[in-house]
Homo-oligomer: A and B are copies of this chain.
Amino acid sequence: MGSLPGNVEHERREMAERYAIGVDFGTESGRALLVAVGSGRELATAVYPYRHGVIDEALPAPDDDVRLEPDWALQDPMDYVRTLQMTVPAVVAQAGIDPADVVGLGIDFTACTMLPTTADGTPLSEIPELRREPHAWVKLWKHHAAQPEADRINALARERSEAWLASYGGKISSEWFFSKSLQILDEAPHVYRAADRLIEAADWVVWRLTGVETRNSCTAGYKAIWSKANGFPGPDYFGSLDPRFASIVDDKMLRDVLPIGTRAGELTAEAAGWTGLRPGTPIAVANVDAHVSVPASTVTAPGRMVAVMGTSICHVVLGATSATVEGMCGVVEDGVIPGLFGFEAGQSAVGDIFAWFIEEAVPPSYHALAADAGVSIHAVLEREAGRLRPGESGLVALDWWNGNRSVLVDVDLTGLLVGATIATKAPEIYRALIEATAFGTRAIVEALEAAGVAVDEIVACGGLPERNRLLMQIYADVMGKEFKVAASSQTPALGSAMFGTVAAGSSAGGYDSIVDAADRMAGLRTESYRPDSANRAVYDDLYAEYTRLHDTFGRGENDVMKRLKAIRARALGETGAGSQVRVS
């Protein structure tokens, strides 16, 4: 059979191929991706929109008379099980492969998304007598009602000069694990008592898949103040918050945190029934969507940053040693790639700013241009803004439409635009907003470099790089660095599948490390964005203006943004930040 036609030859290779599955649990839906282990080729994908989506007004029927306060955001854990049931069989069927050829499965999740369960992993929201209690449900990452608890956590940490505070930009978020846990204790102590476990939804899903409770180093490190060197904060710290909180780690968590890249266990018979996969299929410890995108974007070593660019930007860069960098979301050993420190930074709003602008500030004439040309309004604005030279708009903005995460870590900062005239056009403002977010990224990169963390090249992934070439070129010009783009448009699911292959190991048809997996399965697009030196020079001047405004309004010289928020709160009859949100 020496000279088979090419397509038959190809088919033979495919038949010999093994596969891995990654499941990415997002905010509104879950997605499974089936990839070839040898090449990373993406064969099939399936999405399940959660039945109950984001629960932010009332509990699901028949309990929808239980209303939620503003800032609450819950989920139904059974939506995660349904995701497994709906999407994994679908991708296996779509790809037409033998489930026995799936070597491993990994998952990633939004974080911190957490829930209380019984000792056997039953979510408290599944217990009839607790079902009408909002605190029994999953608290989604964007549940923001635990701000008073976060304030106490931070105040006490500062008072005690806790060393870990510096790893988190000096501030623990209301979104994170202990803020949310403490809110349960504060507002629903009976639920707190009923919870044998408090656990990241990511780890809970792996528990459901394997029957083994594990805790992964990524969520533990970035969301639960854990470090490889020092573990969790001690009972004296937690006890000073509330005596009942002193033993939370020993009572309701696990001290044994597994590095990502570890096998959590094997698929149980029950979960094999859900997924259609073979019982015993290796399952990776859980991971976080942004972080798992890093190896899926080819980055497994120091010096190259991954920017996950969408409604917000998450920046991750690796270092061989730790360092104190202003305003990090977290610095975690084993947090992204085993054996390295993962530095995570963030910009609270990026795509969200452009979406706001288009929704609230673009006049009909541009919408008409888009309709006439049969293209999106984004495309029209990109075209018009792309005709402008850097500096031509005469505008500069501070990209704080949703506060500033890195490097100032201040949710009370707001957006600023300077330079408007009666000749200013909408595409000029649009471009200034893009530039402002690029300046925000540059501020983060410069903070890392100033602390000795190298950022020589940036790999972008996420939705924005695919949609907005102008934005990518502006980022390259502003940064003076090449921007490459991940080949996959589903880097979280791809990264999870890659970790699935590592859970299997080479002996079972996978890889022995995420570095090996990335070498074979991850790739970059051939096109990249190289900085234009003339544009760079103009942007250096504009960035100097950005920096000066950034420091004036962000570092206490003029706290007008905070005072305007206080005036606004008074106008609305609010008691202002720190007021406790109550569940009715």
Interface on A for B, CB 8 Å cutoff? 349, 352-353, 355-356, 358-364, 367, 389-396, 401-402, 414-422, 424-426, 429, 538, 541-542, 545, 548-549, 552-553, 558, 560-561, 563-565, 567-568, 570-572
Contact = CB atoms under 8 A, between A and B. Distances in A.
A352 B424 CA distance: 12
A561 B395 CA distance: 9
A400 to B, nearest CB: 8
Contact of A417 (B393, B420, B425, B568): B420
A422 B394 contact: no
Given A353-B422, A359-B363, 10 more contacts: A358-B363, A361-B426, A364-B364, A394-B565, A401-B420, A402-B422, A414-B420, A418-B564, A419-B565, A552-B558
Contact of A422 (B352, B367, B422, B538): B352
Contacts of A541: 563, 567
Given A359-B363, A363-B362, A416 B420 contact: yes
Contacts of A352: 422
A424 B565 CA distance: 12
B424 A561 contact: no
Nearest to A403: B421
Copy number of this protein in the oligomer?
2
A53 B553 CA distance: 47
A561 B356 contact: no
Which of A421, A558, A570 is most buried by chain B, counting CB atoms within 10 A of its CB?
Answer: A421
B567 A538 contact: yes
A419 B561 contact: yes
Contacts of A548: 558, 560
Contact of A394 (B353, B358, B421, B568): B568
A418 B560 contact: yes
A538 B429 CA distance: 30
Nearest to A541: B567
Contacts of A391: 564, 567-568, 570-571
A542 B570 CA distance: 13
B416 A417 contact: yes
Contacts of A394: 414, 564-565, 567-568
A49 to B, nearest CB: 24
